[in-house]
Amino acid sequence: MIVVEDVHHTYDVDRAHPVTALKGINLHIEEGEYVVIIGRNGSGKSTLAKHFNALLIPTSGDVSIKGMNTKDPQHLTTIRHSVGMVFQVPDNQIIATVVEEDVAFGPENMGLPLQELRARVDEALTVVDMLDHRTRPPHMLSAGQKQRVVIAGAIAMRPACLVLDEATAMLDPRGRRDVLDTMQQLHAQGVTIIAITHFMREAVEGTRVIVMDQGNIAMDGPPQRIFSQADELRQLGLDLPQVTQLAERIHRRTPAFPTPLLSVEECVEELCRLPQSAVVSS
């Protein structure tokens, strides 16, 4: 669905000091994947994300969405309609003064007739569970609710893919959980999800983890494989999720204990299964 071929990107706002944020990225993302991108600050995650819906055009190399090259201005609107984007600060992405009108903004841009607009707004607000707040002004909502409105605005365009760039960074744990649940739900409905995060806990939600470092892809694979390479991750400035760290430490004392473990539930289950003797002997 998304194909990235040898993409370089250089910001030359300041001509004396151009910054090369991407240095030869190659990447295939298939339909229905849930990809999580992690990496330390400035590693180029946001720059890569903005290439997925033609907000940025590669300095060299090609990005194509469903076979449409982002360099081709003719495909621009189709690409924008196929790939939705959610950014970090919910407040700065809400345009209208009423929730439902903001959700309608994208579909309005698509030129859909009134009946279709209404259907899409209802549907999107139902998915993010904000139907009760449809006529409220956005500034009265909590950060988590605002971010769900933003997500509704993106999915009202029925994109095949949704890109979330640190969309949970400004939220409290409750709001974060709500947004993550929404993402899982969309993924279950067949939407391709690409999530950028710096919370390792969220990295295990996906089916595939990509680790970026200094404009390159450093690691790429299923979460089980990525999080079994604790030392490599640490070298890239990243930690393991807390549960995984815990499991690893138990594993060091009791080799029978499996590692890596990615969720609290898994860990609890394994702990219960541990023979009494193993715990006592160590």
Task: Please say which residue, 67 or 111, places its beta carbon nearer to another protein.
Answer: 111
- Shortest Å, Cβ 43 to ligand ADP: 4
| CB of residue 42 to ligand ADP, shortest distance in Å | 4
Q: Do residues 180 and 205 touch, judged by C-beta distance below 8 A?
A: yes
CB of 64 to Mg ion, least distance (A): 23
Among 7, 29, 35, 45, binds ligand ADP (CB under 6 A): 45
175 binds, among Mg ion, another protein, ligand ADP, none (CB under 5 to 8 A by kind): none
Looking at the DSSP bridge assignments, the partners of residue 219 are 211
Which token pair is 122?
Answer: 């209802």
168 counts as binding Mg ion under rule CB under 5 A: no
Distances (CA, A) of 54 to 27, 255, 260: 16, 49, 37
124-145 as b/e, with b when 16 or more CB fall inside 10 Å? bbebbebbebbeeebeebebbb
Question: Does position 58 bind ligand ADP by CB under 6 A?
Answer: no
Give dist(CA 218, CA 278) in Å, integer.
37
Show the binding pattern over residues 22-51: x = contacts Mg ion (CB under 5 A), - = does not. Answer: ------------------------x-----
- Nearer CB in complex with ligand ADP: 127/171: 171
Residues pairing with 211 in the sheet: 38, 219
Number of residues in the chain = 282
Minimum CB separation of residue 270 from another protein in Å reads 42
Q: Which residues bind Mg ion (CB under 5 A)?
A: 46
